[in-house]
Structure 1
Amino acid sequence: MIQDIAPHSYDNQYRPVPPKRDSIALYYEGHTVLLRKTREGIEFPRFQDLERLNEDIYQDYIYLFTIDKEQYYLVKEISRERLSDFTLENTEIFRTGEPQYRAFAGITGFQLFNWYRAHRYCGRCGHLMKMDKKERMVYCEECRNMEFPKICPAVIIGVTDKNRILLSKYADRAFKKYALLAGYTEIGETVEETVKREVMEEVGLKVKNIRYYKSQPWSFTDTLLMGFYCDLDGEDTIILDKEELALAEWFEREDIPVKSSRDSLTNEMIMKFKNGEV
């Protein structure tokens, strides 16, 4: 999965140390990111690549994380060379971009970029928020409101019936491939209750024997995904929620029309079932 970057080591401890000229600068505009494509894969600019037109770049930055010994920073509102090799690319490039640890860095930085952008002002009193110097937190000097990064819990659900698994396709989304059922956990709900509710809401089925598989940070949607397998409990007739899903079908293990890919927990869970490993 995209976060499996060994032998590289990701360290998200907050260390607001000043950047060096060779530190990595992550710059985003909307759903795009500044990078260049090389034979080795994607490459992000370093501070020295941007400093000529951005004299204040060493004052206006946010420390993000470290991978191996390289420190990554978020930079804002920069000017770029007219004929620069660095171009703005859609963040979807990180689903398949190589090397994998750079793709993981890019999408994780994008999640933090969105969080900082959404918390410039206090949600309680409207004043400008300030960055804390010791931990990843912003606070309001007026009302003392504190905001920490929040992650949305969601479930990925492999509904099985002996040698069959239920696959679906989303309605009205850019992602058109087969996927497993999924949904966000609501307030006051356990993740196991989320599994039962989402399956009932989306396909009208009851399930039992809910068992945890593994989790995945999914920065594309600011989500922590938790994967579960469960067994069909009773009738297998699908009642489709057409607002959420374009289709849902049962597939025999040997007929699953999905190939292995790198990025997602969904794909790994489908392939585990297809290969008879669960």
Structure 2
Amino acid sequence: MIQDIEPHQLINPYDHDYEHDVRNDDVIFIFDNKRVLVKEHTDHLIFPVKKELKEKHDYIFLFKIDDIRCYLIRDNEEIEGYVFKDVWSLRTDDKHSASFLYALVTAYQLANWYDNNQYCGRCGDKMIRVKEERALSCPSCGHRVYPRIVPAVIVGIIDGDRICITRYAQGYGHNALVAGFVEIGETIEQTVEREVMEEVGLKVKNIRYYKSQPWGFVDDLLLGFYCDVDGDNTIHMDRNELKIAHFVRREDIVLQPDHLSLTNEMMQRFKEGKTC
């Protein structure tokens, strides 16, 4: 999955002091809406480093990949050899790019958070970064905000040796599982039951947790579950959400074209005769 970058490690505690000590070889992420400044090499992604920047910038420390510090700047600078590419278009499970693809997606999540919280949601004053933690604070009313993380479920619905495979009505075009966001006042298990009923009209039982995944493309923390059909296995598909929903035998499952997502791992696990 996208976060599986061993032996490398993403180290995410915020350290304000690093913003006063940006080193020449530290990585700099520069975004333009949904695009990032990057150089595509034959076997890996290359992002600008501080010594390649000619202008003076306000550097926001993001995290480290091993000992490499990664920063964000919120203004653009053209750098020879680099071009802006759509973040989603760089999705690849190439092993050479794994650690910096994960860094890119996490940086993209944080960049969106900084951009979307420039002004206080209570009084409208300009927000400022605080030194002691990764947070933004309003100097007028004291309102403080933290990075946005959205919990969502991925659900493998099992009926004997079959699993419910879906495809979204819009967006991502490959095979997937039932998925949805947690609503206010719900337990995660209640979210599983509700999303399954809403999307495919099934009752489920034996809900069991498998694994989680950060998915910074859309601020999600994905929580994977398997469950069993309870009673009638007739699918009643929500055509606003899905264009395909049917039970598929494990040997007939067609996986996604890369191995980045929790969804794909759960489908592959069932295909191999495993669940949790």
TM-score by length of 2: 0.95
Gaps of 5+ in 1: none
Match of 2:24 in 1: 21
CA distance, structure 2, for counterparts of residue 69 and residue 48 of structure 1: 17
Q: Is contact 2:93–2:258 with CA below 8 Å preserved after alignment? A: no
CA distance, structure 1, for counterparts of residue 86 and residue 93 of structure 2: 11
Q: Is contact 1:260–1:268 with CA below 8 Å preserved after alignment? A: no
Say yes or no: does 1:6 pair with 2:6. yes
Match of 2:224 in 1: 227
Say yes or no: does 1:132 pair with 2:130. yes
Q: Is contact 1:32–1:89 with CA below 8 Å preserved after alignment? A: yes
CA distance, structure 2, for counterparts of residue 244 and residue 39 of structure 1: 38
SS state at 1:208 partner: strand
Q: Is contact 2:153–2:179 with CA below 8 Å preserved after alignment? A: yes
In the TM superposition, residue 260 of structure 1 has moved relative to its aligned partner by: 6.7
Q: Which amino acid aligns with 1:96?
A: T
Match of 2:41 in 1: 38
Q: Which amino acid aligns with 1:115?
A: W
- Map residues 38-187 of structure 1 onto 2, 5 A cutoff: 38-50=41-53, 52=54, 54=55, 56-57=56-57, 60-81=58-79, 84-96=80-92, 98=94, 99-173=97-171, 175-187=172-184
Q: Which amino acid aligns with 1:34?
A: L
Q: Which amino acid aligns with 1:37?
A: E
Q: Is contact 1:259–1:271 with CA below 8 Å preserved after alignment? A: no
In the TM superposition, residue 261 of structure 1 has moved relative to its aligned partner by: 2.9
Specify which of 213, 216, 223 is matched with residue 213 of structure 2: 216
Aligned length: 270
Q: Which amino acid aligns with 1:170?
A: Y
Q: Is contact 1:165–1:251 with CA below 8 Å preserved after alignment? A: yes
In the TM superposition, residue 236 of structure 1 has moved relative to its aligned partner by: 1.1
Tell me the C-alpha RMSD between the 2 structures. Answer: 1.1
CA distance, structure 2, for counterparts of residue 158 and residue 253 of structure 1: 12
TM-score by length of 1: 0.95
Query: Structure 2 vs 1, CA of residues 259 and 35 (structure 1 numbering), >3 Å: closer, same or farther?
Result: closer
Q: Is contact 2:30–2:73 with CA below 8 Å preserved after alignment? A: yes
Structure 1 runs of 4+ off > 6 angstroms?
none
Q: Is contact 2:93–2:260 with CA below 8 Å preserved after alignment? A: no
Q: Which amino acid aligns with 2:274?
A: E
Q: Which amino acid aligns with 1:155?
A: V
CA distance, structure 2, for counterparts of residue 76 and residue 30 of structure 1: 10
CA distance, structure 2, for counterparts of residue 126 and residue 90 of structure 1: 31
CA distance, structure 2, for counterparts of residue 265 and residue 39 of structure 1: 27
CA distance, structure 1, for counterparts of residue 3 and residue 29 of structure 2: 18
Q: How high is the sequence identity, in percent, across the aligned residues?
A: 45
In the TM superposition, residue 97 of structure 1 has moved relative to its aligned partner by: 5.7
